Structure 1
């Protein structure tokens, strides 16, 4: 049956009998015997008055007994509930499982009217949650923020999320969505500005997912916006930086940097030299644009400070000494036993030492120095029979005279590309402590170069005999010692500190992955992190073949049957409660 354009029906036709019975009860209520009328002359004027009031008193006669009316209403509500009246309404389809892929990269911080693109993505996701929901954040490496959560939990997680200053890896995030989806009927919704910094076609990714059976929606959160930003820099010398600034707009823009005004043409790149001071430098362009992440360049100018290294040796012409003394951040002092100066150096190197001339007190000083956050390098040689008092991280056996390749274990990333060549002589050594890191070993697993901690200090055992190994002649040799001294002294060059992009890993004694631009301090070092990506800064991408891309996402609406039983039951209960109140007020309870 259709009433006012709405389809109305009943799911339990037999129960109509109860509803009809209720209606008959109302009819019986009005059926009364018709009284016999007799005219009495003296009362004619009264009858005329009653006729005038008959219509006005109809309602008062109908509700003469309020209790009856209340009980009647409750019965009618319960009868209507038994009938199962339903109505068809056009309502959004509730999805069973939804995977929301939300852009949380640097470009998602672009302001769109009153909110950022990231906030738009969160809003779209909130409006279109299903019964089971997962949330993936688009960053340089996709991040699973919620895995198969209910609506309430997903909304709570969405409120806690924030955008980062990373690149956009949309393709991998979409592939991850397919990996975590439980069924092919899962809907995958991608809310992004569709800037993939790996330059992979997002529409191709959509087609791949659709061939697997998934329903994929691409929602573009971006509109055309203005931007001018810093995309790169070069250190020209210790006191200057050459800064590259790009105008992404179709019109010329004027900006100011370090007190200098520059005008940049449309889609052009200009450079400017900026003076650097010691310590932290923030180079900011005065740009009134819609994207602020690339408006500031962070650089750190370290203080010129050299580390003190003491080389104890009886041979002042070794390859090791030549490599160490050529390092710019090292100040070397060479001592020949038995004359040893007071030991308070950052690094002690034992190389080609006549140990018979080394008195016991020297080892005690080295031991104390290593305990106090300083470092020790022990180079392999013949006649090492001396009590190192626990400083030697290996148990040395006999010297093997077999030619064997020395290979890097990749245990420490900075040494993984070093080619240690072949060695004709090395100690058959065994590790004493399990926490010793093997940097290089033979094919049979004999440790040759190791790195270990000793209380607050660090110890390197260099087990290569340079005289019988061509490693000393290779270009990797000075690189190895440069990186070794950097590791032991915790010194970073200006290039190391500044050449870090947001989302990349800072390799120290532990891995740090900064996801926001700015300065980071760790292990007494300062790191400057910047975005510096021309694609990510291009916040107004031109998307071809965009017919399948939406600017908004709305759920599909279909006619859904809505049972009115709960409504009638609720109304019946309300009427019953009112009946109890009425009876109590009337004094019957």
Structure 2
């Protein structure tokens, strides 16, 4: 980069000295004694001509006297030296400054299209910047991860170089603009401020706005793009569902192709062994869904869904799924001997349900069961304290389902109504269609077009209730949280005298999904498997093992490594499931400088170059010359 002249300077003292020293010298030369003139008649006509050009002779007298010119030049140089002249030049280099390095540590920085990886190349660039900074500079490092992290604050460049060696990219996406905004907090009032943002800039949205914010805050900015433009295919979606009806596991993954059309091979491995595989054509620029049905195993399983030869980003080639053993759900059904026939048949047909049917008043202890269901029963047979025990069990994590029968209104236990969050019920005898309230996992994929109710109860719902189905536009079934557990009210009774719900193909599906939800409070598979970058919240600080073998004792853990975590009560699979992160082609705006064209110290800095010593050296040389001329003329 060429040197640029930014400005020059000359003090007023030098100009004043020039005038004070030069003018007397000229006057001295004009007024010094004149030699005696002798007139000769033969040259008098020449004198007449000279008198006509006295002004011209005055100038010639000054100009033609080399000693006068030399002495004026010496005075001029001395005057300039006294003024301490200088020039301001813009030259390549790094001066003492406050350096803030924002380093992208997202999963896409692990791409190998830049050798050895994008992140390793970024660390090398940051190290080069720091190595060429001055010892008195200050350096801060901000890691742009899922949550911006401050790796170093206002330390020496040498310390920053040591910190760089310990940094690594995560397996999650990052919020680059949030990290850039954090850089403003590290502005220095004593030094010049520079921000170096080093990233692959997969997402360039907001970058120009961030640049404006930094400029307004007084920072100079460098935006270094590290990317090889490699092609990639990644697994960007996954679904895991349990089928309570047969115990199998449904797995679906989406392979997104950001390159040309090619064949994709997907394998499912358990303990390193392939247990299922499928091939599919993955068109360029699109996503292909690949589905598997894995038989029930009866034990906890760690399954890895792998995309063979996925491209430049290995971290999105695998989806890690922890599949817990399907333990039988213990269910207690309270009802009269000859009632709840269809409900009992349906529950008994589920392979993962251990059903106990009990006729009040004598019933087992509620805490011995996962779910307690109140069916058609005479309320007067239920002993005092029964619903108190059931509510206590629910608040500690159990579940209770009340199926509205003819005599439900006669239940006089406050615990029963408090548990359901109800103050009254409206009884109707009117043929009505049943409609699903979309959004809850228990009613997903239900078809109720032909389901009619003849008799039903409409509850007074509040904001604490989540409606599942409606009749006449009013909530019919709902679920609510009570302590750590759930209470469900079903105004839709499945017995023939109430409705034809028992005849619908959606009847067992609804109960299967509802019971699965009551196990965990979430959709099937969600509890044990997370996208990378998720925050795991525990009730208290506990030891959790990461996929890399590090144990963390905390109640708040960011899951930023892909693989299997060891939890206090099982395992969790964590995978990079992020369409934007898998698209490593990157964006482009004018601000960005390619890493190959960037070198530390390329920034132009202002330097003052003073000429006083040079001028004094020249003055000394002219004085020596002046003295030598005087000697030659015999004036000394």
Give the TM interval when normalised to the shorter protein. Answer: 0.5 to 0.7
| 8 Å CA contact retained: 1:300, 1:528 | yes
Query: Which residue of 2 is the match for residue 549 of structure 1?
Result: 593
TM-score by length of 1: 0.54
Query: Which residue of 2 is the match for residue 55 of structure 1?
Result: none
Query: Which residue of 2 is the match for residue 45 of structure 1?
Result: none
Deviation of the 1:415 alpha carbon: 8.1
| 8 Å CA contact retained: 2:374, 2:402 | yes
Partner secondary structure for residue 293 of structure 1: helix
Query: Which residue of 1 is the match for residue 353 of structure 2?
Result: 330
The CA distance in 1 between the partners of 2:580 and 2:346, in whole Å, is: 42
Match of residue 490, structure 1, among 520, 526, 532: 520
Partner secondary structure for residue 119 of structure 2: helix
Deviation of the 1:312 alpha carbon: 0.8
Partner secondary structure for residue 148 of structure 2: strand
Deviation of the 1:298 alpha carbon: 2.1
Query: Which residue of 2 is the match for residue 145 of structure 1?
Result: 149
The CA distance in 1 between the partners of 2:122 and 2:88, in whole Å, is: 32
Structure 1 residues 229 and 181, CA, compared in 2 at 3 Å: closer, same or farther?
A: same
Query: Which residue of 2 is the match for residue 300 of structure 1?
Result: 322
| 8 Å CA contact retained: 1:178, 1:209 | no
Deviations 1:512-560 (A, max 9, x none): 8633211245684643222255664455x37667795321354522232
Query: Which residue of 1 is the match for residue 607 of structure 2?
Result: 560
The CA distance in 2 between the partners of 1:362 and 1:535, in whole Å, is: 54
The CA distance in 2 between the partners of 1:489 and 1:242, in whole Å, is: 22
| 8 Å CA contact retained: 1:194, 1:220 | yes
Structure 1 residues 156 and 400, CA, compared in 2 at 3 Å: closer, same or farther?
A: farther
Query: Which residue of 1 is the match for residue 532 of structure 2?
Result: 502
The CA distance in 2 between the partners of 1:493 and 1:321, in whole Å, is: 24
Partner secondary structure for residue 194 of structure 1: coil
Query: Which residue of 2 is the match for residue 527 of structure 1?
Result: 572
Partner secondary structure for residue 393 of structure 1: helix
Query: Which residue of 1 is the match for residue 480 of structure 2?
Result: 450
Query: Which residue of 2 is the match for residue 18 of structure 1?
Result: none
Aligned residues: 473
The CA distance in 1 between the partners of 2:97 and 2:435, in whole Å, is: 54
Answering whether residue 353 of structure 2 is matched by residue 309 of structure 1, we say no
Structure 1 residues 254 and 525, CA, compared in 2 at 3 Å: closer, same or farther?
A: closer
Match of residue 228, structure 2, among 213, 220, 223: 223
| 8 Å CA contact retained: 1:10, 1:84 | yes
Deviations 1:205-244 (A, max 9, x none): 5555567794664312233668776667788994897888
Deviations 1:472-513 (A, max 9, x none): 799999777555533432387865468743246789999986
Match of residue 514, structure 1, among 539, 559, 581: 559
Query: Which residue of 2 is the match for residue 377 of structure 1?
Result: 401
Structure 1 unmatched ranges of 5 or more: 1-6, 15-82, 197-201, 431-435, 564-589
The CA distance in 2 between the partners of 1:532 and 1:500, in whole Å, is: 9
Deviations 1:435-488 (A, max 9, x none): x9554599999x9753112xxx63415275769999979999977755553343
| 8 Å CA contact retained: 1:117, 1:193 | yes
User: Bigger shift: 100-109 or 361-370?
Assistant: 361-370
The CA distance in 2 between the partners of 1:560 and 1:217, in whole Å, is: 21
TM-score by length of 2: 0.51
Match of residue 198, structure 2, among 176, 187, 191: 191
The CA distance in 2 between the partners of 1:495 and 1:97, in whole Å, is: 49
The CA distance in 2 between the partners of 1:96 and 1:409, in whole Å, is: 61
Query: Which residue of 2 is the match for residue 37 of structure 1?
Result: none
The CA distance in 2 between the partners of 1:148 and 1:11, in whole Å, is: 44
Larger Rg: 2
Cα-Cα RMSD: 7.0
The CA distance in 2 between the partners of 1:255 and 1:485, in whole Å, is: 32
